[in-house]
A and B are shown apart, each in its own frame.
Chain A
C-alpha cells in the first residue's frame, strides 16, 4: 500500500509550490500523468481544480471533443444494415463453401451444416453518395452523406461478454480500462458537475444478455475515470437527494468534514483511492444540483422529443440518445450507450422489425440534433455492436436467424472529424471475411484517439512494468481514410 515514490513526488510538488499543469514540470509529468491525476485532490469548500488530462498538451490539434458510442449490444447483422450483398441473395439456401469457413471460429453453428442465408431485407441507394443502406434503417440512410460506413471491421472474440471487453478495452482480459476511462483520463472532462464518462443502457426485443458494469471499469487507472451509470427511468442517479432534515449547507459541511478526515488519512496512507473517493463525494455533491436539471426534459420541444422518439422517464434508445446529447452539451467527455438486444440467433425478421425502427430513429435524431446545434463537428458518434452476424442461417427449433460473426462486420461513424458519405473497406461476396482495408478494433481505438488529439502509440500508462496502451502491443493505426 505504501509507495515511497508517491510520497516523495507529492512532497516535492507540495514544497516547490508549482501547479501540476505548469510548463516547468511538463517533462517530468508527461511520463507520469497518473500521479498528476491522483495528486489533484479537491480541497474543502469545493474549490474548482479541473484536471487538465494526462495528455497535456495534446499530441496534435483535435477534431473531436467528445464521443458518443452507441453500442448495439448483441451483435447486429451487418447483412441487414450496412453491408449489401447481392451475391449472398443468389446463394440463399446453398451450402457455404468449406474453403471459406474451414478452421474458422464458429459460435453456435459448430458442427452444423452451414447454409447461406440471403439478406432478409431490401437495400436502396441513399444520399448523394448513393450508398446502399438497408430499408431497416431509412432515417440513417437519409443521413448517409454524414456517415462513414466501415464494412471491414474485425474483432477477436466471438462471445458477447469477452467481445464487449475486447471492443471496450482492446483485450479480452477483463480488469483493464475501458476506452471511456482512457479518454477521460487522457483529456479530462469539461463538466465540473457531472462525471466525465457516463453510461446508459436500454433494452428491448428478445431476452437480452446483461451488460456487466466492468465493461466501463477504469482498470488500472484511478477510479475517478470509471464510467458512471445513469438510469433513464426514475431518478438518473439513486439517492442523489439529501435525506429529509438535511439542508444543502448541512450536507456541504458534512462533505467538507469527510474531505478533511480523508486528507488526514491520505497524509498517512498515500492511497490514491482515498483521493478518488474525496473527488467522488465532491462530484456527487455538485450532481445533487446538476442531475435534476440534466434529467428534466421539459425544456425540450415536442418536435425534439418526437424526433428522437424520446419518452421522458422511460429507458428507451430514443430517451438515451437525447440524454447523450444533453450530456455532451454539458461537457461530458464520453457517453457510452448500450442498446440491447441484437443477438438474433433465431427469428431475425421479427426482431429486426422490432428493434430497427426506434434505433434508426434515435440514432438519426442524435446526428441531426447535434448537427443543428453545432455540436456534430466536435462530437464523434460511433454506431455498432461487439461483432456482426454470420452469412449462414441459424435454424434450430424456431424461425431462422444468424450466429455470431467476427471476421467482417460494419460500423458507422459520424461527426468529430469524420468524412461523410464514404464507405471504407469491404467484405467478400458472402459478407464473411473483411478483405480490403481491414479495420481491427485496435485501429478503431487509434482512430478515435487520433480524432481527440491523442497519438495512441504515445498514450501509455506504466502498469506492472509495462507501458500499457488502449491499443495494446500489436500493430494499430488510425484509419486516415475516414478523416474529413
Chain B
C-alpha cells in the first residue's frame, strides 16, 4: 500500500510486481537492522533540515527513508523523458 503510494508520488505510476518485491526486501532488511541498531536509525533521521514527525516509530521511518532513497535515485525519477 505504502509502496504504491511511494511509486505514484515519485513516478506517477504504480510499481510492477518485481519492483514491489525488490523494495519490500530492502525495507525488511533495514527494519531488522535498525531494530538491532536503533542508534543508527537515530543518526540517519537526524540528517536534513525538515522537522521529523516524532509520533512516527523511528525504526519504521528510518527503514522507509532508505526505501525513498532508492526510489528517488532511479533514473526514471531524475531524468526527464
Binding site for B on A (CB under 8 A): 1, 243-247, 250, 253-254, 257-258, 260-262, 264-265, 271, 273-274, 277, 281
Contacts and interface: CB of A to CB of B under 8 A. Distances in A.
Contact of B22 (A244, A247, A260, A281): A260
Interface string B27-52: 00110010000011111111100000
Contact of A258 (B46, B73, B79): B73
A59 B47 CA distance: 52
B47 A243 contact: yes
A154 to B, nearest CB: 40
Given A245-B41, A246-B44, A257-B25, A264 B19 contact: yes
Interface in B39-81: 39-47, 62, 66, 69-71, 73-76, 78-79, 81
A261 B41 CA distance: 24
Contact of A274 (B19, B44, B75): B75
A21 to B, nearest CB: 26
Interface residues of B, number: 31
A254 B22 contact: no
Given A246-B40, A246-B44, A277-B75, 7 more contacts: A250-B30, A250-B66, A254-B26, A257-B26, A258-B73, A262-B74, A264-B22
A254 B44 CA distance: 14
Contacts of B43: 244-245
Given A261-B19, A261-B74, A1 B44 contact: no
Nearest to A266: B75
Most buried by A among B22, B43, B75, B78: B75
A392 B30 CA distance: 69
Contacts of A264: 16, 18-19, 22
B23 interface: yes
A261 B70 contact: yes
B49 to A, nearest CB: 14
A258 B66 CA distance: 11
| Interface SS of B by simple majority | helix
A292 to B, nearest CB: 20
19 contacts: A243-B44, A244-B44, A244-B46, A245-B41, A245-B42, A245-B43, A245-B46, A246-B40, A253-B29, A254-B26, A254-B69, A258-B70, A261-B22, A261-B23, A261-B71, A261-B74, A264-B16, A277-B75, A281-B73
Contacts of B73: 258, 281
B56 to A, nearest CB: 16
A253 B46 CA distance: 21
A245 B44 contact: yes
A257 B67 CA distance: 9
B70 A257 contact: yes
B26 A265 contact: no
A262 B66 contact: no
A258 B44 contact: no
B75 A265 contact: yes
A245 B40 contact: yes
A250 B33 CA distance: 9
B75 A273 contact: yes
Given A245-B40, A245-B42, A257 B74 contact: no
B27 to A, nearest CB: 10
A273 B26 CA distance: 24
Nearest to B62: A245
Contacts of B26: 253-254, 257
Nearest to A281: B73
A13 to B, nearest CB: 22
A370 B81 CA distance: 45
Contact of B76 (A247, A254, A265): A265
B50 to A, nearest CB: 14
Nearest to B47: A243
B47 to A, nearest CB: 5
A272 to B, nearest CB: 11
